[in-house]
Structure 1
Amino acid sequence: MITTFRYRIKDSGSTKKKLNKMASGVNYIWNFCKETQSTALKNKPVKIITDPKTKKIYYTPYFFTQYEMNELVAGSSKELGLHSQSVQAVAEEYITRRKQFKKLLRWRGRNSLGWIPFKSSGIKIKKDEVQYNKQKFKFWNSRKLPSDALIKSGSFAQDNCGRWYLNITLETKRNLYNKNSTSESVMFLSNYKAITYNDSIINSRPVFPIKLKLKIKKLNIAKKKRIVLRKKDKIKEKSKPISKREKIIINKITNIKQDFFHKESTKIINSNAVIITNEILSAKKRIQSRNSFISTRLNMKHFQNILCYKAIRAGKVVSIVSNKNLSLVPFKCCSLQPQFILRKRTYVCKICNKRTPFITSARNNLYLAAKHLFRIGHDTP
């Protein structure tokens, strides 16, 4: 099993300066690769290849191979202050991405986030310390490496707040999840009420601190006032970047959500063998601007994807029931009513005139599907 472990580096003081210097060296190699490739295409745009059997002539654009690029980059590691294998890794990464996107890639400038790749022989790990290119970096050892771990590759990466992380991809024979569980669980997912388990009233959702909620409320009120004043004066303002204070709050919210999703998904997979959930449509990614409001709404599609990936890794089953099959409305007064249109989110019974929203009926139908009262879902033929 191949997994990636991520650790936060203690980047206070001189360590941050060292990593930033190395990241600028990586950018220099990347830009050199692009420059050499673009000049080669200008001088010799087409490569002529003749087939030895048929003797046909083929014309292809003159792109460098990994071997050719490694020869051009070799010997620059000492001047740039990088490991020799990380120089090769950058050149190889450039060529693989160029093949993937089939075009010349963009330059890496000052604003691009720091990235220092390395191979397995480029680092040495001892408890909470990493040795790279005769330089030692300390990190928070929040997750211990398995005893039979085989390090394949890794990188030092930077986030948008300037924090540095250590990413290690490793291969282990040991399974990180519990395989002995045989129970079956049903859970209804929604962006507002998060997760509802087995027809229970209790909903599990992330807890946001009161201080953070008050800060969000203040910022949203200030934004609303700004928009109202602008509409009154009829002023057309250009979209400004997000302030530093706002960025910190958004990052805190995302970290709380991510922590909740990770812990909850591992708990579900360790305790169950079969998981039945409803379908959630993926929402469009909202571009965050200075005028957009901050919300603590959950993205449950992301949680469902995490659950599916962890289930594949652990050898468990996750069956997703589509919303079309959950639109049946069972009532006590009458038999199963025909499917109602998903555009209309409420249904009225013709006999008892009872109103039911789609969410409640879908939840009930999902629990009935788990008990096999009526056959729905992808697993049935």
Structure 2
Amino acid sequence: MKTLKLRIKDKHCKMLDQLASEVNFVWNYVNDLCFKHLKRTGHFFSAYDVNEYTSGTSKLCNLHSQTVQAITEELVTRRKQFKKAKLKWRVSNKKSARRSLGWIPFKKAAIKCTDGSVQYGKRQFKVWDSYGLSKYSVKTGSFVEDSRGRWYVCLVVDLPKQEQSTAKQSIGIDLGLKDVATCSDGTVISNPKFYRKYEQQLGIAQRARNKKRVRALHAKIANCRKDHLHKASTMLVKNNALIVVGNLNAAKLVKTKMAKSVLDAGFSALKTMLKYKCENAGVSFEEVNESYTTQTCSYCKSISSSSPKGRAGLGIREWQCHECGSSWDRDINSALNILALGHKRLAVGITPI
């Protein structure tokens, strides 16, 4: 399955704002109902139990009955996930700092899709259709609002059969900050540093308390980064039969002084894109432990005393192995070691003839 995200034309925003307000009302009602039942009886309501108390809501709130069910199921799921007796209140007031972004979930029965439009109940919304919606079978989805007040429809669809990749090359990928990714074949995915590019403009808008401009700049930065990573990941998947990536942990790095650079690089998003695109294209994807791949010489497999080590060695970009005399670019050497680890993983469990 795949999720398609399409922008809805702005003329429908007012109607969607009204529907989102009704969704918030249903959420808050069910949230409060479940909490009161818990205090009174000591037991949690299930999504099935709540249906008895929400019958007729679709007519009163102008929502599809499948939307009301989806709201209840989502609330029960998140309550279990976060282990809370009561979840946060959804606020509809646009002037409130705590306002919740618009959200209207639905199921398959509530939606009909044609090229260029989506029909929810009796309401039809025009979209910028870059996919050709009529060829997809919709499973579920939701209308969502972003911080700038723009609305999108997210549709979970069955993915049509993809042509299998005919590429035979395999590569190892070393993720980093100087370059987002360096491949074992010498391919380099640059780091354009989009946040740094717009950082000065962002600071000016923030000091002027121009919230609209701040949101627009943040959206521009995110869109530029996403576009760059999508193009890079598509190119890598198209040209290779096996992709091996190191398990660089972005969650740990954002707790260090490099946090801003880590978030600006977006290599964690690149890894996610590679994973699902490989599944769709029939390309093998492996994630391996990259410990010592920078310090180990990819030719003689020894850990040289001259190799870069730890954070102190981040400035060393080129080094020479004292054991075999090989000269290495830091990132390409690491990518070659990652590729070797990937081949070893593929060989595990194969019974010798």
Counterpart selection for 2:200 from 217, 221, 228:
217
- Return closer, same or farther for 1:319/1:349 CA change in 2, 3 Å cut-off: same
Contact 1:4 1:168 in 2 (8 A): yes
| Mapping for residues 16-55 of structure 1, pairs under 5 Å | 16-42=13-39, 44-45=40-41
Number of corresponding residues? 331
Contact 1:206 1:257 in 2 (8 A): no
Q: TM-score, normalised by structure 2?
A: 0.78
Alignment match, 1:77: 58
Alignment match, 2:138: 151
Counterpart selection for 1:104 from 86, 90, 105:
86
Does structure 1 residue 175 correspond to structure 2 residue 161? yes
- Return closer, same or farther for 1:197/1:119 CA change in 2, 3 Å cut-off: same
Alignment match, 1:205: 190
Does structure 1 residue 244 correspond to structure 2 residue 212? yes
Alignment match, 1:254: 222
Whole-Å Cα distance in 2 between the matches of residues 163 and 285 of structure 1? 32
Alignment match, 1:318: 285
Alignment match, 2:274: 307
Whole-Å Cα distance in 2 between the matches of residues 335 and 7 of structure 1? 49
Larger Rg: 1
Whole-Å Cα distance in 2 between the matches of residues 64 and 369 of structure 1? 49
Please give the root-mean-square deviation of Cα atoms over the aligned residues, in Å.
Answer: 3.8
Q: TM-score, normalised by structure 1?
A: 0.73
Contact 1:192 1:297 in 2 (8 A): no
Give the aligned residue type for 1:11: D
Whole-Å Cα distance in 1 between the matches of residues 116 and 20 of structure 2? 22
Report the CA distance between 1:31 and its aligned residue: 0.9
Whole-Å Cα distance in 1 between the matches of residues 166 and 139 of structure 2? 29
Whole-Å Cα distance in 2 between the matches of residues 89 and 218 of structure 1? 41
Contact 1:89 1:119 in 2 (8 A): yes
Which 5+ residue runs of structure 1 have no aligned equivalent?
Answer: 46-60, 227-239
- Return closer, same or farther for 1:337/1:98 CA change in 2, 3 Å cut-off: closer
Q: Deviations over 1:8-39 (max 9, x none)?
A: 00023xx2111111001111111111222222
Whole-Å Cα distance in 1 between the matches of residues 167 and 203 of structure 2? 45
Contact 1:250 1:294 in 2 (8 A): no
* Higher share in helix: 2
Does structure 1 residue 192 correspond to structure 2 residue 191? no
Contact 1:178 1:271 in 2 (8 A): no
Q: Deviations over 1:96-142 (max 9, x none)?
A: 22233332212111201111111111122121111212111100001
Report the CA distance between 1:206 and its aligned residue: 6.5
Q: Secondary structure at the match of 1:297?
A: helix
Greater alpha carbon shift after TM alignment, 213-222 vs 117-126: 213-222
Alignment match, 1:328: 296
Contact 2:172 2:244 in 1 (8 A): yes
